[in-house]
């Protein structure tokens, strides 16, 4: 049976067994009394306070076993450690509280099963939180004792017996924390009763916080060292072909490499979702192996893997590794070899170029950062007004973030009228191995002449064509040719939430129509996620990654709609 069950099935099975053991502890310690003959034997061996205390410990261990059973089902390593210790405690507690050999043997058997399955429990918890808990634990204990002693001192006349006795107070603190009656103090006033009841409640809250902190998933990825970023950039230059390849190397991404460092997955952690920016980047034969390794890596960290904007070429590899795919739209790609403005298909573009020539518009595509302070000032003013009108900020993750002035990698393109006023500008990020460029930040002032943006993009396409580049990306047209389904409607609402709050405040169909003017080649893009139950969480991570300033109120308002 052990061999036939998967690791996940074994984890769920042992979690259920541990939960039953927790119920057994609670029933045996708090509801069912021990056999009279065994209790008489224990009275001759142990003080009654020890027997009562062990009953309380058995019940407490039972509640804790119940509380961590779900984490065991998630194959958490720390949950396995806690459960093992709690079963050891349960074994001795059942013996001491009433010579309950039956419950002790059950605890021992469950402990043996846990030990046999120890290799299944390899999911990490957040090490930073564990270190914080370990470091804070002594201070929490000191605070609780100090608070309790101060309460006994200040409320000495509101308790029975009256007066402050430090030794008696410490004994009462222990009994209240262990819920081990009979208690040494009783209340003479309402405030005194509240104080005595708070001692146990504070202890339970502290214990619950410790268990929660220790079992939390890893919520922060380690910063990639410089050598890892250099390796990722080398692989990007050799294999990064998509329109979002540039964003796979931005500082907000962490890198997961395969064993020989020939491929990587660029991702960011949004809650407990490891959201990857596009396809794995590397040789074609590395895609399936690194997908399988990344999924195991996510399982070990209690993360949900997700991939945003993967291409058709790797769709079957994702399906083979157990991912479901949901089409999110199509990317507009303009092949530069053979690109021409002749014929009826691109008449709108030809009209924009002709108007620019008549009105003496100027165009420049920069190879380095813009040095003209006046020009850059105009661009920044236009961008700030654009964002203020849209009521948001720059989007992130797989768009936005490219410097308006450009740099040694990003190339800005600017269109000016005859007076030198900026009428449109756009930043272009490299597509590396595809020998192309992807448009990113696209801005124009509200009073820009018609056709200014078409003029800018067309001139950029012609300029790059002359430089020998092969393709440009006009970006994703969200929801283009997406089949109607419940999943698609959920995805549409998520994308609309981003669009309605941030700087892409235009209808998706309008965006689609604008890109159609260039008669591009359309390629489908997908969201990959590990099963339908994970889809809402992965979609929410896309929203949060692309719109990091989105508030909870915005999300709730959209859900109400």
User: For 190-233, how does the pLDDT look when each residue is reduced to its tens digit (9 = 90+)?
Assistant: 888 888 877 777 776 776 766 666 666 655 555 556 678 889 99
What percent of the chain is modeled with pLDDT above 70?
Answer: 79
Task: Average the pLDDT over 317-335 and give the result.
Answer: 92
Longest CA pairwise span in the chain (Å): 109
Beta carbons within 8 Å of 1's beta carbon, 6+ residues apart: none
Alpha-helix runs per DSSP H in 266-342: 287-300, 315-320
Ordered by start, the domain boundaries in the chain are: 7-120, 149-214, 333-477
The pLDDT of residue 312 is above 90: yes
Rounded Cα–Cα distance for residues 538 and 407 (Å):
33
User: Domain 333-477 has what CATH class?
Assistant: alpha beta
* Bigger pLDDT: 495 vs 522: 522
More confident residue, 507 or 340: 340
Least confident of 60-64, 422-426, 450-454, 486-490: 486-490
CA distance 490 to 68: 32
Instruction: Give the mean model confidence (pLDDT) for residues 355-360.
Output: 94
**186 beta partners:** 160
Spatial distance between the Cα atoms of 498 and 265, rounded to a whole number of angstroms: 24
Phi, psi of 404 (to 5 degrees): -60, -35
> Which single residue is written with the structure tokens 């958490």?
76
Give the mean pLDDT of 269-292. Answer: 93
pLDDT at position 554 over 70: no
pLDDT of residue 246: 94
pTM of the full predicted structure? 0.69
pLDDT of res. 520 = 92
Task: Answer yes or no: are the C-beta atoms of 518 and 473 closer than 8 Å.
Answer: no
The fold of 7-120 is 1.20.120
- What angle, rounded to 10 degrees, do the helices at 77-98 and 48-73 form? 150
Rounded to an integer, the average pLDDT of 13-36 is: 77
């Amino acid at each position: 049976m052990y061999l036939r069950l998967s690791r996940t099935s074994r984890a769920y099975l042992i979690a259920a067994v541990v939960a039953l053991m927790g119920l057994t502890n609670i029933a045996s310690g708090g509801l069912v009394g021990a056999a009279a003959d065994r209790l008489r034997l224990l009275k001759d061996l142990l003080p009654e306070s020890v027997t009562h205390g062990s009953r309380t410990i058995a019940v407490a261990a039972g509640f804790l076993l119940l509380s961590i059973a779900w984490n065991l089902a998630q194959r958490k390593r720390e949950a396995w450690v806690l459960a093992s210790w709690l079963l050891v405690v349960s074994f001795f507690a059942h013996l001491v509280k009433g010579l309950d050999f039956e419950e002790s043997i059950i605890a021992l058997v469950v402990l043996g099963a846990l030990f046999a399955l120890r290799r299944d429990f390899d999911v990490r918890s957040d090490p930073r939180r564990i270190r914080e808990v370990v470091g804070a634990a002594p201070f929490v204990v000191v605070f609780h004792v100090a608070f309790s002693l101060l309460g006994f001192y200040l409320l000495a006349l509101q308790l029975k017996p009256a007066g402050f006795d430090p030794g008696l107070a410490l004994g009462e603190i222990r009994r209240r924390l262990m819920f081990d009656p009979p208690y040494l103090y009783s209340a003479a006033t309402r405030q005194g009763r509240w104080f005595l009841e708070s001692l146990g409640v504070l202890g339970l809250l502290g214990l619950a916080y410790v268990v929660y902190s220790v079992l939390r998933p890893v919520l922060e990825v380690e910063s990639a060292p410089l050598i890892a970023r250099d390796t990722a950039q080398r692989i990007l230059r050799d294999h990064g072909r998509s329109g979002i390849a540039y964003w796979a190397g931005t500082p907000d991404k962490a890198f997961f490499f395969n064993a020989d460092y020939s491929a990587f997955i660029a991702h960011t952690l949004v809650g407990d979702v490891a959201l990857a920016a596009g396809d794995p980047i590397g040789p074609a034969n590395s895609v399936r192996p690194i997908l399988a390794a990344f999924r195991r890596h996510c399982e070990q960290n209690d993360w949900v893997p997700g991939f945003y904007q993967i291409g058709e070429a790797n769709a079957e590899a994702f399906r083979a590794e157990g991912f479901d795919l949901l089409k999110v739209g199509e990317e507009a790609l303009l092949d530069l070899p053979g690109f021409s403005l002749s014929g009826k298909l691109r008449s709108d573009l030809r009209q924009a170029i002709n108007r620019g020539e008549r009105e003496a518009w100027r165009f420049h595509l920069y190879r380095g950062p813009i040095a003209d302070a006046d020009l850059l000032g105009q661009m920044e003013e236009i961008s700030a007004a654009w964002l203020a009108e849209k009521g948001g900020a720059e989007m992130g993750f797989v768009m936005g973030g490219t410097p308006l002035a450009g740099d040694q990698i990003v190339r800005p393109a600017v269109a000016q009228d005859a007076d030198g006023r900026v009428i449109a500008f756009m930043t272009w990020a490299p597509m590396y191995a595809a020998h192309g460029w992807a448009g990113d930040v696209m801005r124009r002032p509200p009073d820009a002449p018609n056709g200014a943006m078409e003029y800018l993009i067309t001139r950029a396409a012609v300029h790059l064509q002359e430089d020998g580049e092969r393709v440009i990306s006009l970006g994703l047209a969200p929801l283009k040719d997406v089949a109607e389904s419940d999943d698609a409607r959920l995805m549409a609402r998520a994308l609309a939430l981003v669009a309605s709050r941030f700087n892409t405040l235009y209808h998706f169909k309008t965006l689609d129509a604008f890109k159609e003017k260039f008669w591009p080649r359309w390629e489908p893009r997908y969201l990959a996620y590990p099963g339908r139950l994970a889809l809402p969480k992965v979609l929410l991570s896309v929203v949060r990654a692309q719109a990091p300033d989105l508030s909870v109120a915005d999300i709730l308002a959209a859900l109400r709609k």
